[in-house]
Every structure is written in C-alpha cells, then in structure tokens.
Structure 1
C-alpha cells in the first residue's frame, strides 16, 4: 500500500511506495499550474500591457495566498502522524480546525487584495498597469477561501493514500477555468467582454467548484465518511487550532519568502520596463511548471516522513527523504537541459516572435530562461528537503533558512547585479538563483543531521 510504513522496506520498495503516492499529486500540481498558465496565456492574447498587469496582480496574490496555504498545510504532517499512530479522532479534529484556520485567514487576506492598487503605485508601478491589476484582484479575491478550505481535505486524502481523486478534481478545474476565461475575458458564448476582470471571476468560480467536489467526496465516500468531519464543526479545539498556527506559520512564511522573492523580482522588473515584466512572466511560468513536479513529490514526501514518524521508524524517515531527493534531482536535470537547448521553442508558445511588439520581450525571455536553467537542481532540492523536515513538524529553522536565503542573499544580490552592475533583468534572475542555492544547501544539511539534532523525537513529542 502507498501509505504503508515498514522499517525493513528496501530502497526499491520505498521508491515504489513514494511513486505510487506521488504520481497523481505531481500530475495534479502540473494540472494546477495549468490553471494559472491558461490565465497567463489568454492575458498574453490581450497584449503585453495586460500580461504585465496580470503578472503584477499575481505577484501580490500568490505570495499572500501561498502564505495562508502554508499555514493550513500544517494539517498534512499532523494528519499523517496521527494516521501513523492510528489516532482517528485526532485526524477528525485536525481537519475541522483546519477549516477554522482557513476561514480566519481568508477574512484577513481579503482587505489586502482589495487595496492592492495603492500598494502598486507606492512601489512605483505604472498607473495603467496597476489599475488593470486591481481590476483582476477585485474578483480573484473570491478564490482565496475555497482555495484554503480544500487544503485540510487534500491532507486527509493524501495521508490515506488516495491521491487520484485530487488529480481528477484538478483536471476538471482546468477545463472549467479554460471555458470561463474564454467566455469572460473575450466575451464569447454571449457573455460580456470583461478582460482581466473576467479572468478573476473565472479563477474564483473554479476554486469553489474544486473545493465543493473535494468536500462531497470526503463526506460520501465510505472510506472517509466515518471521520464525520462536519459534525460539531462549530466546536472549538483551541489547542489544535494553536498547533496548526504553531507548525503552519513557519511553513507559510517559508512559502511566502520564496514566492515573495519572485514577486519582488516582478516589482524590480517593473522599474526597468513593461517588456521586462512580460518576459519575466513567460520565463517564470516555465520555471513554475517545472517546479510542480518536485512540489507534487514534496507532498508525498511529507506524508511518507510523517507516517514514519508517527509509527516510530527512523529508517523510514531516512529512506523517504533521500529517495524523494534523488527523484527530484533526476527530473530537474532534464528540465535544466530543456531550458538550455530549446528556449526559443518554449517562449514562442506565449509570445509570437513575428509580431514587432513582442520582439524585445521575446529576446529577454530567452535570456531569463537560460538563468532559470541554472537553478533547477537547487530549486527542486530546497523544495524536497523542506517537505521532509515538515514531515517531522520541523518548520521554524527551515523558515529562517528561507528568509536568509531568499531575502538576505537572493534579493540583494539580484538588486546589485541588476542595477549596480547594469545586468538588469538577467542580474535579477541571478539573484533568484543565489537565494535558492543557499536555501537548498542549508535544508539538505539539516535533514542529514536530523538524528544528531533529535528532530524525530521532537516531532513525536509535539504530536
């Protein structure tokens, strides 16, 4: 079984167990990024200004949303450890309190997104681009609550080894989003032409569809309905509520640190010009698509490590972590080669090089993609090692590593290289690469020293 834990599992058996659990999650993550890719693709059809506006909007939306998602993601190791210890009641309570946390975070996030235009202007962004970005966010804010509510449900499904349903729901979301975008952005099927606002409406609608599908599955499938996750939903469990924040806030800040680094890179690109922002959007999109494989694998890694911790098997922790790392490095080596060998083929999927208005953005995107190739291995490594540590509920020190790597090193290096040394966008991307490298090295060393640091025992005590 994919969620089995055995101290005597061979490396080959661990590899198989990880892949069985991970492959639907990986495809679901790739499918998930295709939701956003559809938005970027259709925004690009509106022109470079609209593409820049959509990119600016998501440079704020994604870090804030992922910060909230990271907090609720604390339910994943908590549920996995409870299942490993055969504590069904603990599973039920964690899911319920995950809903509470998701609701509170959605209420806190909404005002920030409703006032985004003011922030963009303060940060020196183009007024027209800022106004268009706010038009998207007015409606995309509706995606935050369902996007967070689905996380505890996904954590439960992952920990029970049932990941294919997550894939099916995400694939369904792609088709719904594509149709919604086509109808509302461009005014097809009798709908009004709403452009970026239409993309925001479609994004919110599809997140509600996916959240409701996941909820219905958990409520009515015989394997999960015994948890009765909605019974006494209003009943507080303050200790577990606090535990989610205790474990989850560092996870959220870690995700915000990385995504925020890329978001600030968009701001710095905006100081250079709209073409640079559009080129950055394309290159970052391919880097994000590649990252979905280690991201999906990392979710399985957290579950595998969490199950081993809950059942008291240090050898299971070791094999789960290193197996996932080598799988990730093998895949990211392939994407590195692709970015180096065929950047033009990739970029023309978003920007037509035959159109004169795309010429500058096209050339810049190819250059940025070349730098992205350099950090593929370390990007995958920092993702997997962070997930392995999360499986042991070790989140605070990894958060510090992320903050230092991304914000103390990555962004300053990018600023100096881009503006002091005149490398502009390429310099900013070199800064991103340096930040990811520092985080990857630090997280890998911490996982390697997990027994000396007594991390597994601390996780067991926390659970």
Structure 2
C-alpha cells in the first residue's frame, strides 16, 4: 500500500531538487545578507527586516501571480499543444512585467507608512534608503519569475536553479565589497546590500533568458514573440488563475510580515530576533516550495492526460515526502535552537553584548515554535501546489484568508501585545494559522480528487 506512494519519491525529488536548490540559494543569500548586516549592529539588522517586510508583500503578489503560468504550460506540454504553451508564456511575461512596475511604484508610495507604524525611529531612517533600491529590483525579479514558472511548466527545473546560483554569487561578492567598503569600493552599509540585490536580480533574468534561448525544447517558445500583441482570451485565463494565486501567497506572507511589524512594536531586539527565526524558517520552507512546484507540474500533466487516479496517487506521494522531510527539519531546530541564532551576531562584541544576548535568547524560543510549524507549513504549501495544478484557486484563496487572518492573526496580535508571551505569542499565532490552512486545504484536495475519480 505504502509502496505505491514511495515509488514516486525518486522522480518527485528529481523534479523538485533544482527548484529547492534555486530557492535555498535565494534564502542563503538572505542569510549572508543578514549575517553581514548583523555585524553592523542590531539596528541595521532590524532596518533590513523592516524594509524587506514591504518587499515580502509585493513579492508575494508578483510571485503568486506568476504561478498561474506553470500549470497552464504543464497542461499544454502534456497535450503537445505548442500554440497554447507559447501563448501562455508570451502573455504571462507581459502581465508579470507590468505587475513588477506597478508593485515598484506602490512601494515608493507606501514608504511614509513606516513612520506611522510605531517602529523605532533609527530603524526607519536606516530602512528608507535601503528600500528605494530593493524596490526597483522587483521589476527584474518578477520578470525572472515568469521565465522560471514557464521553465518549470516544461519540467526544465534545472535552468532557473543555474540562473539563481550565478546571481547569488554576484550578490554575495557585491555585498562584501559594498557593505564594508573592501578593495577600494565605497563603504555603503545596508545600501550596499541593496545594490547587490538589484544587480544580482538583473543578472538572474538575463542569464535565464539566454539559457532558455539556447535549449531545443524552449527555444521556439522564447524567440520570435510579439510581446505587445496581447491575446485577450489568454490574458483573462492567466488573470483568473493568477489573481487568486497571488492572494493566496499574499495572505500567508502578509501574516509573517505582520509578525515583523508586531515584533517592531516590542522593540528592535525582538524585531532582530524575529528576523533571525524567520530567515532560518524560510530556508526550510524553500524545500517544501520545491515539492510544491513538483506537485503543480505533475498534477498539471496528469490533468492534461485525464488520468485522475494517478493524479491523486502522485500528489499524495509528494505530501508524504514533504511531511517526512519536515520532521527532520523540526528536529534540527529543536536540537540546535540555542546554536543557530549565534551565526547571525558577533557574540564577542563587548559594546553590544546585552543586545546580542537578548536577541539570541528570544530567537532560540521562536525556533522551538518554528520547529512545530515545519510540518503544517510543508503540508499546506504542497497541497496548495497540487490544487493549483488542478487549476482550483478560488476556494483555496478563501481558505488561506480564513486560516491566516481569521484564525492566525488575532492570536498573534493578542498573545504578542497583551500577554507575557510577547514574541513567542506572535509565533504561536503563526503556528495556528499554518495548521488550520494545512487541514482545510487537504480536505479540499481530498474531496476534489475523489469527485474527479468518480466521474472518470
């Protein structure tokens, strides 16, 4: 019985591994950013956290919207329908580019909100110049996402990974040179980190374009396209899938962003600790995201082939694999909860010893809660990927809203600001939201797939 699921593990990992590596690479750069910025002080680390909280919201909308491209391309690929696949790519790229510009402008307009959010003034003043440059990097980032989702839909998951890894190397080198002013470069502090992010994201989109242009399977899709000749029917189809998908990701990312803001109300040290725990949790989440993409592609393929029994079996095999990997990460967080936060801060810095000790203590407690929600987070994101592969997005959007904002956020707000739990209370709310989401989304998938099998 179990073997019908475990026999799919190898192919699932083969498909998901490049996505995981690319996403972990992204998060490793954020880790390196945070470690480098952490050497400047806790105020600088909190400023990057605050600036990135605005970015996370915008990125969630852009990345969430772009995920509409993958199941449509996967379905067209399974049906050998080149015309449809090319139409999805062309119109998807246009919509993602336009969305990137809109989100960049929205962040510029939203900057003054920082002063109204009860954040430490020194943190806000450091965050604003950092955010200017990072916001502009949204445009190449969301263009890259369109290319990546298209590539994933063709099961060519390795090439976005290569582009991401190259970009990460560029980012780390520029960060080192510009944050600290090494080898004659200007010492720019956290603005240097923003320059590194912008240049690396431009590198990423250019590199992936040339890779796809050079590959036989994708060459005809990405060349000779009339980007401004829009097909209204396909645009409507992408928006119908992309808008709810964007909201799904927005609802989840927004509650984690709210956790950053709530932590900022508690002070710069709780905010810095929150950033450490969030960065570590993000790294493990990227593994689940890789499996979510595998679920989206494989379910999309099986939907195109109308093989619904295989579709359900393959999806459940991905959920099971995700669950087992999440248990391993949970154990690592529990065993190493005191050790991991020390990577981010200079524990020998006598001037900041009291601040650093407090940050490490808070972060260690948050990692215990993060260990518990590894499982919930992994299940909800892989099930969501499978539902996107089925092109079922409206009910899951409602589920994610209820889970994060009707269940999770009120718990975070009350326990974080009105009880002695403080930072831990904020993260207990995150745990409640993720667990609710995982359960409700699985019930939705279970019902849909059983209904499809009955009709078949």
- Specify if TM > 0.5: yes
For residues 318-368 of structure 1, what are the alpha-carbon distances to aligned partners after superposition, in whole Å with 9 as ceiling and x for unaligned? 122111111111111011111111111211111234441301111011011
Match of 2:213 in 1: 219
The Cα offsets for residues 201-220 of structure 1, whole Å up to 9 and x where unpaired, read as: 11111111010111111122
Q: State which drifts further: 229-238 or 376-385.
A: 229-238
Q: Would you say the 8 A contact 2:69–2:153 is kept in 1?
A: no
The residue that corresponds to 1:362 in the other structure is 360
- Matching of residue 422 in structure 1 with residue 416 in structure 2: no
Match of 1:238 among 232, 236, 240: 232
**1:378 corresponds to 2:372:** no
Match of 2:59 in 1: 65
Give distance in 1, aligned partners of 2:391 and 2:99. Answer: 21
User: Are the aligned partners of 2:35 and 2:345 in contact in 1 as well (CA < 8 Å)?
Assistant: no
Partner in structure 1 of residue 246 of structure 2: 252
Q: How far has the Cα of 1:73 moved from its partner?
A: 1.4
> Which deviates more from structure 2 when the two are superposed, residues 186-195 or residues 173-182?
186-195
CA distance in 1, matches of 2:93, 2:152: 17
Alignment RMSD: 1.8
CA contact (8 A) 2:6 2:317 kept: no
- TM-score, length-normalised on structure 1? 0.94
CA offsets 1:80-121 (integer angstroms, 9 cap, x no match):
111111111111111111111112112211122223431111
Q: Which of 38, 42, 50 in structure 1 is aligned with 2:44? A: 50
1:318 to 312, 316, 338: 312
Paired residue secondary structure (2:182): coil
Pick one of 398, 417, 434 that aligns with 1:436. 434
SS of 2:449's partner is coil
Q: 2:388 aligns with which of 390, 397, 412?
A: 390
Taking the aligned partners of 2:127 and 2:223, their CA distance within structure 1 comes to: 38
Which of 299, 304, 318 does residue 298 from structure 2 map onto? 304
Q: CA deviation at 1:226?
A: 2.2
Contact kept in structure 1, 2:212 and 2:222, CA below 8 Å: no
Match of 1:205 in 2: 199
Q: Deviations over 1:118-164 (max 9, x none)?
A: 11111211222112111111111221111111223222322332222
Q: Deviations over 1:385-405 (max 9, x none)?
A: 000000011111111111111
Q: Distance in 2 between matches of 1:395 and 1:170?
A: 28
The CA deviation at 1:231 is: 2.1
Residue number in structure 1 paired with 2:10: 16
Q: Superposition pairs for residues 163-182 of structure 1, below 5 Å? A: 163-182=157-176
Whether contact under 8 Å (1:21, 1:163) holds in the other structure is yes
Contact 2:308 2:453 in 1 (8 A): no
Cα distance in 2 for partners of 1:367, 1:10 equals 39
Residue of 334, 337, 341 corresponding to 2:331: 337
Picking from 248, 260, 269, the partner of 1:266 is 260
Task: Say yes or no: does 1:147 pair with 2:126.
Answer: no
The alpha-carbon deviation at position 456 of structure 1 amounts to 11
Runs of 4+ residues over 3 Å off in structure 1 = 9-13, 352-355, 451-457
Work out whether residues 450 and 456 of structure 1, in 8 Å CA contact, stay in contact via their aligned partners in 2. no
Change (3 A) 1:434 1:118: same
Residue segments in structure 2 that go unaligned for 5+ positions in a row: none
Deviations for 1:215-259, whole angstroms, at most 9, x for unmatched residues?
111122222212244422221111111211110111111111111
Q: In structure 2, the residue corresponding to 1:375 is in which secondary structure?
A: helix
Q: Distance in 2 between matches of 1:191 and 1:354?
A: 27
Distance between the aligned counterparts of 2:62 and 2:214, measured in 1? Answer: 27
Distance 1:126 1:45 in 2: 19
The answer to whether 1:124 aligns with 2:122 is no
| 8 A Cα contact 1:117 1:133, kept in partner | no
Q: 1:402 to 1:361 in 2, by over 3 A?
A: same
Structure 1 unaligned blocks of 5 or more: 1-8
